[in-house]
Chains A and B, each alone.
Chain A
Amino acid sequence: MLSASELFQQAVALAQAGQREQAREALNRLLLSEPRHELAWLWLTNLTDGTDEQLKTLAPALTHNPTSPRLKERQNQLLRQQQAEHNRLAARAQDHFHNAQVALKEGRPEDALPFLLQSVDMDQRNEQAWLLLAKLVPGLEDQIIALENALTLNPGHATARRQLARLRSLQENSLALGAMYEERGDLHNAQAAYMHAALYPGSEPARAEANQRLEEVQHRIDNPRFKSIAPRTTLLRLTLGPPMVYGLLMAIHAGLNPLYLTPGLCLGGLAVLLGSFLIVLTGLRPKPIFWQNVLGGPGEAREGLARYGLALTGWVMLLGTLALFAWSAYGRLAAR
């Protein structure tokens, strides 16, 4: 059995001979019996790699010798070193962040992503980098992690909080998730999400919709040049049809003279526009993201109720306006 002094001498000799691992083992053995051995702590610290790890190693030494000037001095030295390293990394991370912003400005999001990943790897305290990463990174899980990191740095960021809540709700609704991926043109992720929705549907309509979307997505994957139309574009396009018919009705009814357009006719136009919007919105497949976020996916009670309620409202507005129009035309006839 070696004494404490002999064990220390042996550890120093091993360290000087370049046998760092064995030296560390010897010092650890020594510190189990002599936890206040300052020199042993200092040697052990020096034999540890990386400034952060060295600081961690030194921490118990200061617990045992809180007033030791030598240990304090070494700790300060390591802290200064750590700060300098952080500053150097932060500067490089800032450079990468800047490069990512430039790539984005030039319309090259695929080049911006690696820069951002390097930036957050070097400096995890850049809130803006995390927020940007959440927008660019393709996977939902990664987007959630990026937003969580941004919120850890700035818990008061309301937009990030809302975005995070939206992404978490998407995580639970595979159909909505598929629609989001589809809208972003990420067809393989959309296919995976729809497949999940078809395998574990909440209801029969949800299964039917998932299968229908799967077919569509498969068709697009098989035809890579096939450009999808975003649901909001379809919503706008189809909404305009009935108001166009009503516009012609108004023009003819006013004798092709805009001076005879009555406020009632114009109000009817607004009702037709709104009615048409509601009818198209409730019949659209897949539903736009905002619909799915507010009311959930098909098969959910709230969604079904809203769909039928809004569709009925839309039809009443559209047909009611046309009925009023016909009634006023007959009224005009009777008045003559």
Chain B
Amino acid sequence: MFPLNDTEPNRYSAFPVMTFFIIVLNTVVLMFEYALGAQDVGDLFGFYRLYGSVPQLILNREGLGAVSAITSTFVHAGLFHLLSNMWALWVFGRRVEDACGPWRFLGYYLLAGLCSDLLSTIVRSQLGRADIPGVGASGAVFGVMGAYLLLFPGGRIRTFIMLWFIPMFPKVRALWVILYYLVVQYISAYNVLFNDRGFYVNYWAHLGGFFACLLIFLFLSPEAFERYWNDQPV
């Protein structure tokens, strides 16, 4: 199941400026990484270690500390990594930004990134993998998906599904799409913790980001919050 686009329109604004800006920034950073890697792979690893989130450094209060928790959400480990995260951000971020306004959306995006880093740091330090840099926007993007789930559970997402060899593009309720991804994360996070499998993907960061959605209400615009409070479509 792969989400293609959100079929419902914005209510308050015409274009998701901040979502677009975040996508552009992430793309620029990846291009910079490619340029750096082309010169010297050692430099690229140093870049990941400096701007990625390394639990060992964070817990020992070394490196950039919390700044690396922020910068790591703008660093990706390859084109596919970037595309998958930015695609999901575009699909789910558009209407969440519409409900928050661009600056509050940025605040929430960073909060989700920090929540994801917090949980990931705690879990990875317990698993003995505290020296591997964690990079990617997926924690923050899962935060955006969680917010989407709370605000627009009935939103309809055009989805790509392969039924045997037949591609299908049904509109699926956001609730089911996001729950599907959440269940996958839970199972994988369980495997990481108890079976020591799949640690190369930071599933705990995804869950940490997702739980940040409980704080989305601190970032909603007054109009959107009033609608939510009155059980009306946000």
* Residues in A lying within 8 Å of B, measured CB to CB: 216, 223, 225-229, 234, 237-238, 240-242, 244-245, 248-256, 260, 284-285, 325-326, 329-330, 332-333, 336
Residue of A nearest to B60 (CB): A255
**Quick one: which of A228, A238, A249, A285 contacts B218, CB cutoff 8 A?**
A238
A285 → B minimal CB distance (Å): 8
Please determine whether B121 and A256 come into contact, CB atoms closer than 8 angstroms.
Answer: yes
A325 pairs with B67, CB closer than 8 A: yes
Question: Which residues from B are CB-within-8-Å of A225?
Answer: 230
CA distance A234 to B221 in the complex (A): 9
Give the Cβ gap from B12 to chain A, nearest Cβ, in Å: 12
A330 to B61, CA, bound (A): 12
How close is A272's CB to chain B, nearest CB, in angstroms? 11
Nearest Cβ distance between residue B59 and chain A, in whole angstroms? 5
CA gap between A234 and B67 in the complex, in Å: 30
Minimal Cβ-Cβ distance residue in B for A251: B118
- What residues of A have a CB within 8 angstroms of the CB of B114 in the complex? 245, 248-249, 252
A158 and B196 CA atoms in complex are apart in Å by 72
| List of B residues within 8 angstroms of A238 by Cβ | 104, 218-219, 222
Q: Is the CB of A329 within 8 A of B65?
A: yes
Residues of chain B at the chain A interface (Cβ within 8 Å): 50, 58-67, 69-70, 104, 107-108, 110-111, 114-115, 117-118, 121-122, 215, 217-219, 222-223, 225-226, 229-230, 232
The reply to whether B59 and A329 form a contact with Cβ atoms under 8 Å apart is: no
- Contact between B110 and A245, CB atoms less than 8 A apart: yes
Sample of 25 A–B contacts (CB below 8 Å): A216-B223, A223-B230, A223-B232, A225-B230, A226-B232, A229-B229, A234-B222, A234-B225, A237-B225, A238-B104, A242-B107, A244-B111, A244-B218, A248-B114, A248-B115, A249-B69, A249-B114, A250-B66, A252-B65, A255-B58, A255-B59, A255-B60, A284-B222, A325-B66, A332-B64
A83 to chain B, nearest CB (A): 57
Chain A residues within 8 Å of B229, by CB: 227, 229
What residues of chain A lie closer than 8 Å to B108, measured between beta carbons? 241
CA of A336 to CA of B57, assembled, Å: 12
Check A332 against B65 for contact (C-beta < 8 Å). yes
